[in-house]
Chains A and B, each alone.
Chain A
């Protein structure tokens, strides 16, 4: 670990002040990123050796699971029950629920299979809000331009155009599902500004936007005709004789049995990858975010993009340790909170794009101006007391969840600054999709964080929640409409023989299996018993 200023010393030196000047910046954003952003760490990026993206750059830890052996073979499926449906949705976050609801209302039979419970997701954790251009001085064009700029121009323009044009209708649709938003006294939607944008465009519900969205969608799904399979992670896709997607293999956590779901269309909505702890970073993501969808899709031949690019959110909590990685919403910086190093100095314009701010924090820590914590961990200050001085009462009114977090940490953010450090937050790239969310494999749709193309190599706050609903509806609709033209075909895991051949030819180790399903520290392989502790648990010393 690098040196820095011990927590107690730094806290003693800290003085709340309303205003602080920003010193001149010596490095450009691009220089900062190149030198300090984790995407550029030496050794963390490798070339893929097998599959559709052979030769492309990929994060080492992701490459390990993309090029791992499958969890199952033919023998495992003998006697496994088979169920048929029109549309199978894999993943019970916001994207999966929106897709399932749309397909089901359109008349398709729908199974929604999810790893844990529906709603255990990154969606439920979102705080900041959703982008949608609705204010008079804003246009979809400005939203489009901001998204391109934020993504460093490296985006699929057709997808972005569709995203921004759908913004207002997504908000309308959410209200029609029963989602509440913060309104002014006339009943208009309140808006606020996100980092890197040119208008007030974020609509929100307190700092519980994701919770409000997820519980409403979850309730809509649970009270509908959709057949929900909880505790049912997908471990493999099924293919037909043409290599098209024909369903999936589910492993039930309740009885440890495999089940086959034959489907006319499959929609993968498995979310992100934070729980792989790339470069050993803490993460803001939920427990099931292990990149499974990427592995499932890649094995069937789907093309991926930008799998070497991830978002490290600048403000993850660094202290206390049991909450390390917990996200502090960007809205706190939008509200004017400064970032201060251990000496109490500002070092970056706080509302620069996330990748740049994260890189600047990592620089401060690397150069010894960070704050270190006994027992591991380091960070810099998020100067919340400064905001309270300028605008008394703001935390109580606008950030109830942050005040709660403070209580759990024994820190009153109105009086004491919070120690933060970048946290692995979002998978920028993912499966390549077209405007109807179709992957390069016929019959296989992908939607949500598992996809690439919309955010380029850096996502703006609020665009992910918009993406999951806008494209969730599109995917659900298209999958439903094309379902009648597909017959239930022969389905097998024949594509795995091809995978194993390629792995052997490329001399890849076959000792690892994918998808990961759970982070290693949860010891899933030790005891996959549904009752957790009840059965034969082996304790490693």
Chain B
């Protein structure tokens, strides 16, 4: 029972590829990260959830017969014959400093946004962010909508964002588009989510009407 741990042998045809310049041969049923482990190479950095949601495992991939280089998540990419893979170091995190509490009312959001993210207006619509996003998010449009003050719409584009920061790395204007997206999502919740079922319950609790008998 239980012979299914991560490090057990795997099936699939053997394929040859290079990862960070090293020639590697491993079964095709493995992801890029698993292939490194399988062949005895260490890989600690750039690993996180192993499920495509934490954005740590950024790789550049070039496939055989293609001149295109794509950016993907290494825990999600299955290895293929002739593939060239390079891990990308994680960039320094966002330099933006803000607290939602600094925004006194929803009337102020737009003004504060441009104060917190002054670069956002400088978008030159190069599309670099769109191209690099492994989740296929319309990042550029998100930045545009947020700049116009349409935060709810902007935020909704970033539902699947895993904060891999690839768009931030790609942006020539240092806009940090993912943080623009996240700001948009956060202000929408902060100012507009007011569920009556929750508020009623909080009121009852405040009045001490609900107690626990242990």
Contacts and interface: CB of A to CB of B under 8 A. Distances in A.
A246 B148 CA distance: 50
B201 interface: yes
Interface stretch (B60-68, B167-175, B184-192): B184-192
Contact of A168 (B1, B93, B161, B205): B205
B122 interface: no
B214 A375 contact: no
A169 B206 CA distance: 10
Interface residues of A, number: 103
A531 to B, nearest CB: 8
Interface in B26-49: 29-31, 34, 36-37, 39-49
B100 interface: yes
A157 B99 CA distance: 36
Most chain A Cβ neighbours within 10 Å, of B20, B40, B90: B40
B54 A322 contact: no
A522 interface: yes
B15 interface: no
A180 B193 contact: yes
Contacts of B29: 320-322, 375
A362 B200 CA distance: 44
Contacts of A161: 212, 214
Contacts of B40: 523, 526, 538-541
B180 to A, nearest CB: 11
Interface residues of B, number: 82
Nearest to A401: B53
A377 B4 CA distance: 6
Most chain A Cβ neighbours within 10 Å, of B41, B98, B187: B41
Given A124-B53, A216-B182, A533-B41, A325 B197 contact: no
A169 B205 contact: yes
Contacts of B34: 322
Interface stretch (A16-24, A63-71, A186-194, A490-498): A186-194
B2 A280 contact: yes
Contacts of B21: 533
Interface string A133-169: 1111001110010000000000001100100110011
A211 B197 CA distance: 24
B11 interface: yes
A519 B161 CA distance: 27
Nearest to A133: B201
B96 to A, nearest CB: 6
Given A187-B196, A519-B6, A537 B41 contact: yes
A244 to B, nearest CB: 31
Contacts of A135: 197
Contacts of B187: 178
Given A180-B188, A187-B195, A215-B163, 16 more contacts: A116-B44, A117-B56, A119-B54, A120-B49, A120-B56, A125-B49, A135-B197, A165-B205, A179-B186, A211-B53, A215-B162, A318-B4, A378-B4, A523-B37, A523-B43, A533-B20
21 contacts: A38-B1, A117-B90, A134-B195, A165-B210, A175-B189, A177-B100, A188-B195, A189-B198, A216-B185, A223-B99, A253-B45, A277-B6, A280-B3, A282-B4, A282-B5, A324-B4, A377-B3, A377-B4, A523-B43, A526-B42, A539-B39
Interface of A: 1-2, 38, 116-117, 119-121, 124-125, 133-136, 139-141, 144, 157-158, 161, 164-165, 168-169, 171-172, 175-181, 183, 186-189, 206, 208, 210-211, 215-216, 218-220, 222-224, 228, 230-231, 253, 277, 279-283, 286-288, 318, 320-322, 324-327, 362, 365-366, 374-378, 404, 408, 421, 518-524, 526-528, 530-534, 537-541
